[in-house]
Amino acid sequence: MSPGIEQSIKNQVKPRNYKINASLVSRIIPVVLFLHDNTQSDPVVKANNNPIVVFWFRRDLRLEDNKGLYQALKSGRKVLPLFIFDESVIDPLPGNDHRVSFIYQSLASMDESLQNNGGGLLIKRGKPLEVIRELLSDYPVEAVYCNMDHEPYGRKRDYEVAGLLNDHGIRFHTFWDHLLLHPEKVLKQDGTPYQVFTPYSNRWKQILQSGDLEYHASEKLLKHIMPEQSMPGPEQSSLFPDLTELGFTWSSLKTPSPKINKDLIRAYDRLRDFPAAEGTSKLGVHLRFGTLGIRNLAKIAAELNEVFLGELIWREFYAMILWYYPAVVDQAFKPAYDRIEWRNNEKEFLAWKEGNTGYPMVDAGMRQLNQTGYMHNRLRMVTASFLTKHLLIDWRWGEAYFAEKLFDYELSSNNGGWQWCAGSGCDAAPYFRIFNPYSQQKKFDPQDEFVKKWVPEADSEDYVREIVAHKKARERCLQVYKRALEATSNKNGQ
């Protein structure tokens, strides 16, 4: 697959052409965070209308323990709940994208609860800046509330919206909700961000306080939601459009349950590496879209299993890396690794995607992903290592494919995981660490239960031959990586 085609795939899940200067971000984002503290203008209030506030849902699709919603509902004004299907994000997606179906289903559940309280959820399709501008002309908006995002696109979007609101004298209140600690809270003593997980994790645990886990009972304040009958006439018939009106159809993929299984969490450290066991929570999609709050889950993890809590901290670590180093979206964290001469064989990439490499453990993982939108954590490492080191295909190709398929796709974690496997990321596995798929299968699927489920022909003559011999692939990988790193070392030494 050519880089041009691969860039198109990457754009199917998020806008990937956006470039952001890290130093610029550090200057402009505080303006977004504290705009309401610096705004002296009186809010715009339309004649004969009581002012309202807007709560803008994004990646926090729940009514309970929602920090930003809680603050909006305590504002003393009626709250107009809003969700925008951002055309910059959804337009390139396939018509039956499973994430869109999940989001819509979550919104429908929220809308039902709001209707039981006399309100409703306003759904819009468009570009956020244009939608917000339209709302300002339709409603007497005094302030807009939302929870923050840590991804480059979301930060740029909010900066632009903050500017629009500021021009209209409207306050913009933002809150940190989808992660426990803001990236700027967990820093080294010299004020710089961590680049290695273990010291970051240790510092994270030292800094975390009970207030960071505080429950915000937003669900008890829903009486302050704006009554549906207060909406302008044309809005009432289109508050909640049908999925087809948004340009999508229902996906057949089943969403994992949002239920927190405490028994599973207790056994997580013992079972998490075995794909045939029900040893992982599959809560990633609910953390990604905020249908499950992070605070309660973290409290349970802290009580029941330190290893499970560690996985939540890894999520915060990669979010912090993306916050301070947004260039990692398209570039290696370690610049030397961008000198690797990838083979990028399109035929082999297709075989990997389809689960036809001749390596049962790799193929089982890819087939699970394609058919369910989920892949076991251990297999994410095995399949990523295989693509980047056995086949020498650019990690960006694999990262983009996972982005297209995963229910729980999250840019920072996906990017961090892929760069870890490729050796190019912060605190990554050394380049000479190359997973042997057969050893992985023997250790983590000793009875071949998982392999037999997804690759039933693995022991038959019908199974495809190995795409490349492990020994040959290993030696080739070591040579290519070594050559790239030595070239960088020599260049720096000149």
Let me know: does 124 contact 84? Beta carbons within 8 Å: yes
311 is catalytic: yes
Q: What does the pLDDT read at residue 238?
A: 56
- At 377-408, the pLDDT tens digits run 999 999 999 999 999 999 999 999 999 999 99
352 is catalytic: no
Contacts of 276 (CB under 8 A, 6+ apart): 445, 447, 449, 450, 453
395 is catalytic: yes
Q: Where are the alpha helices (DSSP H) in 390-460?
A: 395-405, 411-422, 437-444, 449-454
Q: What does the pLDDT read at residue 39?
A: 31
- At 268-294, the pLDDT tens digits run 999 999 999 999 999 999 999 999 999
- At 297-345, the pLDDT tens digits run 999 999 999 999 999 999 999 999 999 999 999 999 999 999 999 999 9
- At 213-263, the pLDDT tens digits run 999 999 999 999 999 766 654 444 457 899 999 999 999 999 999 999 999
Q: Where are the alpha helices (DSSP H) in 81-183?
A: 87-90, 98-116, 128-138, 152-167
Q: What does the pLDDT read at residue 427?
A: 81
Task: Select which of 56, 176, 204, 314 is catalytic.
Answer: 314
Nearest residue to 103 (alpha-carbon basis) of 61, 138, 149, 72: 61
- At 434-443, the pLDDT tens digits run 999 999 999 9
401-406-412 Cα angle (round to 5) = 80
25-27-28 Cα angle (round to 5) = 70
pTM of the model: 0.88
Q: Where are the alpha helices (DSSP H) in 423-469?
A: 437-444, 449-454
**What's the whole-number mean pLDDT along residues 174-202?**
97
Cα(56)–Cα(364) distance, rounded to whole angstroms?
40
227-127-139 Cα angle (round to 5) = 30
| Residue 82: band (very low, low, confident or very high) from pLDDT cuts 50, 70, 90 | very high
404 is catalytic: no
Task: Select which of 418, 420, 436, 454 is catalytic.
Answer: 418
56 is catalytic: no
Matching residue, tokens 């309660």: 296
- How far out from the chain centre does Cα 187 lie? 22
Cα(200)–Cα(205) distance, rounded to whole angstroms?
9
Indicate the fold that domain 330-487 takes in CATH.
Answer: DNA Cyclobutane Dipyrimidine Photolyase, subunit A; domain 3 (1.10.579)
Task: Select which of 87, 228, 311, 466 is catalytic.
Answer: 311
H or E element that contains 68: helix 67-73
Task: Select which of 117, 342, 345, 370 is catalytic.
Answer: 342
How is the chain split into domains, by residue range? 330-487
Please give the structure tokens belonging to residue 91. Answer: 């337009």
Mean pLDDT of all residues belonging to the chain: 89
184 is catalytic: no
Query: Which burial class, exposed, middle or buried, applies to 440 when counting CB atoms under 10 A from its CB (0-12, 13-18, 19+)?
Result: buried
Helices (runs of H) and strands (runs of E) counted in the chain: 23, 5
Cα(65)–Cα(224) distance, rounded to whole angstroms?
16
- At 291-305, the pLDDT tens digits run 999 999 999 999 999
Greatest alpha-carbon span in the chain: 79
Cα(475)–Cα(390) distance, rounded to whole angstroms?
9
CA distances from 396 to 101, 290, 344, 385 (A): 26, 26, 11, 13
